[in-house]
Amino acid sequence: MKAFVWVLGYDCVLVTYRVPQRVEIHVRNGWGLCHVSLPPHVGRTGLNVWEYYHDECAGAIGQFQQNRVVNRCGNCRTVFRPPDTMRRGVRRLHRRPTGGFELRVRKVGSITYSIKDHWNAKQVRLRVTPERGVEVTRPKGFPLREIDKFVRSHREGIEEALEAYEEQRQDLAPDDVVLHAIGQKWTVTYNPESNSPGCSLHENGDELRISGDYENTDLLTEVLRMWLSGKGRQHLVPWLNTVSDELDLPYAMAIVRGQKTRWGSCSGRKTISLNRNLLFLDPSLARYVMVHELSHTEHLDHSVAFWNRLGELEPNYLSLDKATKSAHDLVPTWARME
């Protein structure tokens, strides 16, 4: 007779046993306490396995059957260790849970912040993020009034960070998208769908309709970048073919990517990679990048011979090359993120 309880990941727990054991569920302050009593002969003095769950997770576990997998959230913790630790003594099984969980939301003046208790925290930490706002992590039992004082002492810095993030958040959710290189503009509209876990984009003429959880900036920027990559393959590759034919500089293959610093590159096998963000530049700058990379099919380095050849193909290459180095400011924030 034995009962083993151990974590299979962050979102589920597997309970296996040969003889059904008595299970008690106690819910206190939104947390469920699961007590599994084991036979005395499993350990020298018997073992008690304690698990901590949110109340909704604990309610589901209270009805588990043999070999059933029960879903639970990532904040649920267990004190019990895998079976191989049983030989190391009973005392090691009664450790307190690790990690943190959301405790409460408080307000100090005009600042609303959330508090997270963390078993392993040694000091109070304050973070300001676009997704979660103001978040304070405290050691378990640290006085709340001291946290309020801590937040007040950093009020000016918090307000400045929130204002900066608000501007960034507005830039991450654009009202329109203008691709100067191809002379096109789209108006962006947002359609919330509470039941949709993801985010989708539909192009209808000069309108981009975004549906789903667009308040999740990661999902929103991801669908916008995917759409931009498609536009890059649709317009930049044919444009490169045209310039290649004009200059009589053939290449092997073209790739559209989302490079962070480079506008383009050319490999020794004459594979040209173009940055999708070229679509935000002036047509003359986008074409110069293509001419620059096509010149690398003859000279891979930036030697004197390369610049002489580039000067033959594009007489204004000096001014254009200087302009491309400062053109990253023309790219919106959502397109630069990766």
pLDDT, tens only, 272-323: 999 999 999 999 999 999 999 999 999 999 999 999 999 999 999 999 999 9
145 shares its domain with 218: no
Query: Do 273 and 330 share a domain, yes or no?
Result: yes
Residue 216: predicted pLDDT: 79
- Count of domains for the chain: 4
Are residue 331 and residue 235 in the same domain, yes or no? yes
pLDDT tens digits for 245-268? 999 999 999 999 998 889 999 999
- What are the E-state strand segments in the chain? 3-7, 12-17, 23-28, 31-37, 48-54, 68-71, 77-78, 100-108, 111-118, 125-129, 133-139, 176-179, 184-192, 199-204, 207-212, 253-257, 264-266, 271-275
* Segment 37-63, tens digit of pLDDT: 444 443 333 333 434 444 444 444 443
203 and 143 belong to one structural domain: no
Q: Which of 170, 188, 207 is at the close of a domain?
A: 170
Tell me, what's the pLDDT at 173? 84
183 Ramachandran zone, left/alpha/beta (phi>0; psi -120 to 50)? left
Backbone region of residue 145 per phi and psi (left: phi > 0; alpha: psi in -120 to 50; beta: other values): alpha
Chain Cα centroid distance, residue 191: 22
Statement to judge: residues 42 and 56 lie in one domain: yes
**Are 296 and 263 in a shared domain?**
yes
Which of 33, 62, 94 represents a domain boundary (last residue)? 94
* CATH code: domain of residue 323: 3.30.2010.10
Looking at the fold, whether 137 and 150 belong to one and the same domain comes out as yes
Last residue of a domain, one of 94, 111, 141: 94
* Judgement on whether residues 154 and 253 belong to the same structural domain of the protein: no
Asked if residues 283 and 179 have their Cβ atoms less than 8 Å apart, the reply is no
**Is the same domain home to 11 and 50?**
yes
pLDDT band at 104; cut points 50, 70, 90: confident
Mean predicted lDDT score pLDDT of the chain: 73
CB 13 within 8 A of CB 58: no
Q: Based on the domain organization, do 202 and 290 belong to the same domain?
A: no
Rounded Cα distance, 170 and 333, in Å = 10
Domain that holds residue 292: 229-336
Asked whether residue 84 falls in the same domain as residue 106, the answer is no
Based on the domain organization, do 307 and 236 belong to the same domain? Answer: yes
